[in-house]
Structure 1
Amino acid sequence: MKLLHTSDWHLGQSLNQFERGFEHAQFLAWLLDTLEAEQVDALLIAGDVFDNTNPSAASQNQLYQFLTQARQRVPHLSIVLTAGNHDSPGRLEAPAPFLSLLDAHVIGHVPRTPDGIDLNRLVLPLKDHSGQVAAWCIAMPFLRPGDVPLVEDATDPYMAGMAAIYAQAYALACQKRSPGQAIVAMGHCHITGGQVSEESERRIVIGGSEALSASVFAPGVAYVALGHLHLAQKLGGDATRRYCGSPLPMSFSELDYPHQVVIVELDGDAVASTRDIRIPRSVELLRVPRQPAPLAQVLAELQTLSLPPDLPPAQWPFLLVRVQLSAPEPGLRALVEAALADKPVRLVRIETRSSGSGQMEAAALVSVDELSNLAPAGFFERLYQHRFGEAPPPELMAAFTELVNQAPEGDQP
């Protein structure tokens, strides 16, 4: 049996003011081709399908068109889609009755009955190309405190509850499986030791806890398909416990990540092999320069930036400009835009770094009480000194004082 593991699509995501529908459309078209070429039996989508809990109509249309086309292109395909921390469980599950006609199982939240958690809806059969059940999937969505069972006398009830629900689901999967059928598990969580992208991953901290131990997945689980962390990685080097990573770089900090999906081949109840398939990048992200540099050097690099002249606007690269300043530069954006005149590029952000950055000794640390007693000019002076490593020029202080004096009395601090 062949599985494809993907996650963290973040449909509807924007890079600052630039929407990324074209990139997502290109990825989904590539994924359809890959599913067909590989003749995948089951598609596992491990959370954060959408970028926010109120996705646009266009983003929802992308998802449902993809699911429909996936079944048309690969008629035997089973699909399991679970919610991540960015998704709305209810919104994701709303079309579930219709999606079930496509053999697409959508798990947004932990289902309950009057007797407690309905584990049967979390343990799903996966069929091979002949239509026979070849594996069982523990389809666990992102777990919130109200989703997990209460564990008496636990030091950390949330962590203990997550471990308990995975253990209960695994026990049920063991009951359901026949000899030779594998058990796979899905999760959208931060596992201890996983490497985080600080710029674009929302930290999951509940009750002071952040990372879940990989030991919640029993040794009898053949493969663990994880979502949440955007960097593709194997837990402890184990190819059967892994994050597949996001299909697109969600921020410039993810520029050098390997964006991929994972193909998993099952042989009976074990993993025979795993294989990474890189996702083509339809729009480039550029950092100019790679490290912050003085303004004159940055402008020179921008002016000589060589880009294909015939790119359609939807494929113009996104650009992060990185400048090191020794003093404030009020006309910075105008200078950068002038250097980029007529270039097919989208300026996302200008990142500035002061030459005095990191010189904590330049400004003495003060307490909160001391800060509250500072006059605006004193606060501004300390802030400037902290950032640039020297006292502000007299003419700048004079201009600041003039602005404060011109403010209506009720608006002054």
Structure 2
Amino acid sequence: MRILHTSDWHLGQHFIGKTRQAEHQALIAWLLEQVAAQEVDALLIAGDIFDTGTPPSYARELYSQLVVGLHEAGVALLLLGGNHDSVATLGESRDLLARLGAMVVPAADVADEQVRVLPQRDGTPGCVVCAIPFIRPRDVIHSQAGDSAEDKQASLQAAIQAHYHAVFAAAESRRSALATELGRSLPLIATGHLTTVGASASESVREIYVGALEAFPTSAFPPADYIALGHIHRPQRVGGLEHIRYSGSPIPLSFDEADQQKEMLLVDLDAAGLQAVTPLPVPRFQALASLTGNLDELQGAIAAAALDGNPENPVWLEVVVRTDDYLADLPARIESLTDGLPVEVLRIRRARGNAAASLVSEARETLDELTPNDVFARRLALEELSDELRSALTERFRSVLAGLEENAA
């Protein structure tokens, strides 16, 4: 049994005003070529097929193209809901897509309902799956009045662990029945869409259990042959374990992912369990880069980045400028560096100094202990400004504050 594990497609994402439609269209075409070339039996998407709960029509169309293409190729699809996905949006077409060999699990359900059997290309059962999507706290726990933050975190972690083990027990029962029927054992895998202890995230990954659960420990997973995870966009083993993997997103979803080699994972299993996990590198369908330096350094860096672009498909750039001076004409200067080159600057930022780090090392204070002027001064310290401009902004703030206090009185 060969499964292709992927996640976090985020169909419909707008990237600083840019649509990813062309990239996702190219990704689907590439994927359909790969499932044939690599003799894949099933595709597993571990959450966040869409970027929002109300995806644009072209994103839904891409989703349909993927399902139809896999059906025509004879490849099963198992799709799990993620924290970006709407349960209602995924659920509305679930029964229809089942006719095309696609199994969609929008939300956590009773244990028996989350056990799926993925077929091989010949239609025979290939593996049993604990098909667990993103677990919303309301699906597994009810908060109690007076619970502390620590109580809520412990309760949610225990509830998620209990849900995994309940589904695993149901899957073991299903596997045992199939073994009797087929005369052979099947591998058993699990899925998830959550943050695990030790996972390395990126700036485009949202916290999904705000104030309740920071990360799920790997020891809390059941002993499945393979655990296919989504939510973290950087491909990685979890805790160095070969059988617990994030596939990562197939395209960069933020500039801090620009240097990552995106991939999907070919997972080979047989009656004895996991045999191999092989990364399948995903081509870059849109060149993008984050460049940092002073203006002299950026001139060469931009010219080098431009080699990956062409007039029809320019390189998308984030430019982070290191300079001790406040340059009012910074956008114009950057524009002059890119003139005539096949690049498009989507974002310009000034590099922050060490002010933020120095603030952290100070004694911890609450807002009640600080005046508005103190808060403004701390925030201003994070910016690289001339003394003249810093003084002017401070005086302006004090003037506005005085006016507000006078009106309040």
Normalising by the smaller structure, the TM-score range is 0.7 to 0.9
Structure 2 CA distance for aligned equivalents of residues 354 and 305 of structure 1? 23
Structure 2 CA distance for aligned equivalents of residues 67 and 208 of structure 1? 35
Cα pair 1:139 1:186 within 8 Å, conserved = yes
Structure 2 CA distance for aligned equivalents of residues 25 and 210 of structure 1? 34
Structure having the higher helix fraction is: 2
Structure 2 gaps of 5+ residues are none
Secondary structure of the structure 1 residue equivalent to 2:166: helix
Match for residue 266 of structure 2?
A: 263
Cα pair 1:46 1:186 within 8 Å, conserved = yes
1:325/1:369 CA distance change after superposition, 3 Å: farther
Secondary structure of the structure 1 residue equivalent to 2:52: coil
Match for residue 248 of structure 1?
A: 251
Match for residue 383 of structure 2?
A: 387
| AA at the equivalent of 1:141 | P
* CA apart distance, 1:51: 1.1
| AA at the equivalent of 1:137 | V
* CA apart distance, 1:268: 1.4
1:201/1:399 CA distance change after superposition, 3 Å: closer
* CA apart distance, 1:265: 1.3
Identical amino acids, percent of aligned pairs: 30
Structure 2 CA distance for aligned equivalents of residues 149 and 371 of structure 1? 38
Cα pair 1:231 1:244 within 8 Å, conserved = yes
Cα pair 1:134 1:268 within 8 Å, conserved = no
Match for residue 279 of structure 2?
A: 276
Structure 2 CA distance for aligned equivalents of residues 245 and 339 of structure 1? 34
Cα pair 1:158 1:207 within 8 Å, conserved = no
Match for residue 114 of structure 1?
A: none
1:93 to 78, 81, 91: 91
Cα pair 2:156 2:212 within 8 Å, conserved = no
1:379/1:8 CA distance change after superposition, 3 Å: closer
Aligned length, in residue pairs: 393
| AA at the equivalent of 1:230 | H
Cα pair 1:125 1:135 within 8 Å, conserved = yes
* CA apart distance, 1:90: 1.2
Deviation string 1:81-112 (CA, Å, 9 cap, x unpaired) is: 0011111111111101110101111111123x
Secondary structure of the structure 2 residue equivalent to 1:265: strand
* CA apart distance, 1:210: 1.7
* CA apart distance, 1:308: 6.1
Cα pair 1:404 1:412 within 8 Å, conserved = no
* CA apart distance, 1:31: 0.7
1:61/1:309 CA distance change after superposition, 3 Å: closer
Moved more, 58-67 or 266-275: 266-275
Secondary structure of the structure 1 residue equivalent to 2:4: strand
Moved more, 151-160 or 340-349: 151-160
| AA at the equivalent of 1:281 | R
Structure 2 CA distance for aligned equivalents of residues 233 and 309 of structure 1? 29
Does 2:227 correspond to 1:224? Answer: yes
Q: TM-score, normalised by structure 2?
A: 0.86
Structure 1 gaps of 5+ residues are 112-116
Secondary structure of the structure 2 residue equivalent to 1:124: strand
* CA apart distance, 1:186: 0.9
Match for residue 105 of structure 1?
A: 103
Match for residue 288 of structure 2?
A: 285
* CA apart distance, 1:288: 2.7
1:320 to 318, 321, 324: 318
Cα pair 2:12 2:19 within 8 Å, conserved = yes
| AA at the equivalent of 1:342 | G
What aligned pairs does 1:393-412 form with structure 2 within 5 A after superposition? Answer: 393=388, 397-398=391-392, 401=395
Structure 2 CA distance for aligned equivalents of residues 379 and 273 of structure 1? 54
What's the C-alpha RMSD, in Å, of the aligned pairs? 3.3
1:326/1:380 CA distance change after superposition, 3 Å: farther
Does 2:185 correspond to 1:186? Answer: no
| AA at the equivalent of 1:201 | V
1:354/1:201 CA distance change after superposition, 3 Å: closer
Secondary structure of the structure 2 residue equivalent to 1:79: strand
Secondary structure of the structure 1 residue equivalent to 2:229: strand
Secondary structure of the structure 1 residue equivalent to 2:334: helix
Structure 1 CA distance for aligned equivalents of residues 3 and 382 of structure 2? 53
Deviation string 1:264-314 (CA, Å, 9 cap, x unpaired) is: 11121411222111000011112334xxx32344346546764367442xx
Cα pair 1:356 1:387 within 8 Å, conserved = no
Cα pair 2:352 2:382 within 8 Å, conserved = no
Structure 1 CA distance for aligned equivalents of residues 80 and 227 of structure 2? 14
| AA at the equivalent of 1:191 | T
| AA at the equivalent of 2:323 | L
What aligned pairs does 1:7-406 form with structure 2 within 5 A after superposition? Answer: 7-72=7-72, 74-75=73-74, 77-111=75-109, 117=110, 119-148=111-140, 156-177=154-175, 178=179, 179-197=184-202, 199-219=203-223, 221-289=224-292, 293-299=293-299, 301-302=301-302, 306-307=306-307, 310-312=310-312, 315-354=313-352, 357=355, 360=358, 368-369=367-368, 371-374=370-373, 383-385=379-381, 387-388=383-384, 392-393=387-388, 397-398=391-392, 401=395
* CA apart distance, 1:55: 0.9
| AA at the equivalent of 2:124 | Q
1:372/1:309 CA distance change after superposition, 3 Å: closer
* CA apart distance, 1:346: 1.6
